[in-house]
Chains A and B, each alone.
Chain A
Amino acid sequence: MNSLASRLLLAATLCSMAILLIAGFTLSSTYRDLVERGFDARLGVYLRALVGDLSRDGEFEKLVFTVGEPRFEIPLSGWYWQISKRLQDREPEIRSSSSLFDRDLPFLIDSDPEKDMSATREAYTQGPDDEALRQVERVVQIGDARYVVAVAGPTGEIDAETHAFDTALTTTFILLGISLVSTAALQVGFGLRPLTRISRAIADIRAGRAERLEGNVPREIAPLARELNGLLDSNREIVARARTQAGNLAHALKTPLSVIVNEAHASPGSMADKVVQQVDIMRQQIDHHLDRARISAGVAVVGAATEVGPVVEGIARVIEKVQADRKIAIEVTSEPVSFRGDQQDLEEMVGNLLDNAGKWASRRISVRIQSDRRSAQDHWVRITVDDDGPGLTPEQRESALKRGKRLDETKPGSGLGLSIVADLVRIYGGLLTLGSAPLGGLRAELRLPAI
Chain B
Amino acid sequence: MRILVVEDDPDLNRQLVTSLGNAGYAVDHALDGEEGHYLGENEPYDAVILDIGLPKMDGLRVLESWRKAGRDFPVLILTARDRWGDKVQGFDAGADDYVAKPFHMEEILARLRALVRRAAGHSKSDLVCGPVHLDTRSGRVLVDGNQIRLTSHEYRLLSYLMHHQGRVVSRTELVEHLYDQDFDRDSNTVEVFVGRVRKKLGVDVIQTVRGLGYVLGPPEPAARA
Chain B residue nearest in CB terms to A260: B102
Total A-B pairs, Cβ < 8 A? 87
Q: Are A318 and B88 in contact (CB under 8 A)?
A: yes
- Give Cα distance in the complex from A263 to B85, angstroms: 30
Partner of B118, one of A254, A324, A347: A324
B85-105 contacts to A (CB < 8 Å): 85, 87-88, 91-92, 95-98, 100-105
- Give Cα distance in the complex from A252 to B19, angstroms: 23
Whether A261 touches B104, Cβ cut-off 8 Å, given contacts A314-B88, A318-B88, A318-B91, is yes
Whether A344 touches B83, Cβ cut-off 8 Å, given contacts A255-B101, A261-B104, A262-B19, is yes
Q: Are B123 and A322 in contact (CB under 8 A)?
A: no
Whether A262 touches B12, Cβ cut-off 8 Å, given contacts A315-B88, A317-B88, A321-B91, is yes
Q: Are A347 and B97 in contact (CB under 8 A)?
A: no
- Give Cα distance in the complex from A324 to B119, angstroms: 11
Whether A314 touches B81, Cβ cut-off 8 Å, given contacts A258-B103, A259-B9, A262-B12, is no
- Give Cα distance in the complex from A237 to B173, angstroms: 53
- Give Cα distance in the complex from A348 to B12, angstroms: 28
Q: Are B84 and A250 in contact (CB under 8 A)?
A: no
- For the complex, is B189 an interface residue (Cβ under 8 Å from A)? no
- Give Cα distance in the complex from A57 to B213, angstroms: 172
Chain A residue nearest in CB terms to B106: A265
Chain B residue nearest in CB terms to A322: B97
A275-333 contacts to B (CB < 8 Å): 279, 283, 311, 314-315, 317-318, 321-322, 324-325, 327
Q: Are B92 and A251 in contact (CB under 8 A)?
A: no
- For the complex, is A334 an interface residue (Cβ under 8 Å from B)? no
Judged by DSSP, the binding face of A is helix
- For the complex, is B11 an interface residue (Cβ under 8 Å from A)? yes
- For the complex, is B209 an interface residue (Cβ under 8 Å from A)? no
Chain B residue nearest in CB terms to A261: B102
**In the complex, chain B residues whose CB is within 8 Å of the CB of A344:** 83-85
- Give Cα distance in the complex from A160 to B81, angstroms: 97
A174-205 contacts to B (CB < 8 Å): none
Q: Are A321 and B53 in contact (CB under 8 A)?
A: no
- Give Cα distance in the complex from A24 to B104, angstroms: 96
Measured CB to CB, the closest approach of chain A to B82, in angstroms, equals 8
**In the complex, chain B residues whose CB is within 8 Å of the CB of A260:** 102
Chain B residue nearest in CB terms to A247: B81
Measured CB to CB, the closest approach of chain B to A308, in angstroms, equals 14
**In the complex, chain A residues whose CB is within 8 Å of the CB of B123:** 325, 327
**In the complex, chain A residues whose CB is within 8 Å of the CB of B187:** none
B1-56 contacts to A (CB < 8 Å): 9, 11-12, 15, 18-19, 53
**In the complex, chain B residues whose CB is within 8 Å of the CB of A324:** 96, 118
**In the complex, chain B residues whose CB is within 8 Å of the CB of A348:** 83-84
Chain B residue nearest in CB terms to A287: B82
- Give Cα distance in the complex from A327 to B100, angstroms: 22
Whether A257 touches B84, Cβ cut-off 8 Å, given contacts A251-B53, A325-B123, is no
**In the complex, chain A residues whose CB is within 8 Å of the CB of B9:** 255-256, 258-259
Q: Are A321 and B102 in contact (CB under 8 A)?
A: no
- For the complex, is A54 an interface residue (Cβ under 8 Å from B)? no
- For the complex, is A127 an interface residue (Cβ under 8 Å from B)? no
- For the complex, is A266 an interface residue (Cβ under 8 Å from B)? yes
- For the complex, is A343 an interface residue (Cβ under 8 Å from B)? yes
A335-372 contacts to B (CB < 8 Å): 343-344, 347-348, 350-352
- Give Cα distance in the complex from A200 to B83, angstroms: 35
Partner of B15, one of A257, A259, A327: A259
Chain A residue nearest in CB terms to B105: A262
Q: Are B12 and A317 in contact (CB under 8 A)?
A: no
Whether A257 touches B101, Cβ cut-off 8 Å, given contacts A344-B83, A347-B84, A348-B83, is yes
- For the complex, is B141 an interface residue (Cβ under 8 Å from A)? no
Chain A residue nearest in CB terms to B103: A258
Q: Are B15 and A350 in contact (CB under 8 A)?
A: no
- Give Cα distance in the complex from A138 to B122, angstroms: 140
**In the complex, chain B residues whose CB is within 8 Å of the CB of A321:** 91, 95-97
- Give Cα distance in the complex from A317 to B80, angstroms: 20
Q: Are B104 and A265 in contact (CB under 8 A)?
A: yes
- Give Cα distance in the complex from A260 to B104, angstroms: 10
Q: Are B102 and A279 in contact (CB under 8 A)?
A: yes
Chain B residue nearest in CB terms to A348: B84
- For the complex, is B114 an interface residue (Cβ under 8 Å from A)? yes
Chain B residue nearest in CB terms to A276: B104
> Quick one: CB contact mask for A226-260 with B, threshold 8 Å, 1 for yes?
00000000000000000000010011111111111
Which of A256, A260, A350 has the most chain B CB within a 10 Å cutoff? A256
Whether A258 touches B88, Cβ cut-off 8 Å, given contacts A247-B81, A251-B81, A321-B96, is no
Q: Are B15 and A314 in contact (CB under 8 A)?
A: no
Chain B residue nearest in CB terms to A349: B84
In addition to A262-B105, A347-B84, 7 A-B residue pairs with Cβ atoms within 8 Å of each other are A251-B81, A258-B12, A260-B102, A265-B104, A322-B98, A325-B118, A347-B85
Pairs A–B under 8 Å by Cβ, sample size 7: A252-B80, A253-B80, A258-B103, A259-B11, A261-B103, A318-B87, A347-B85
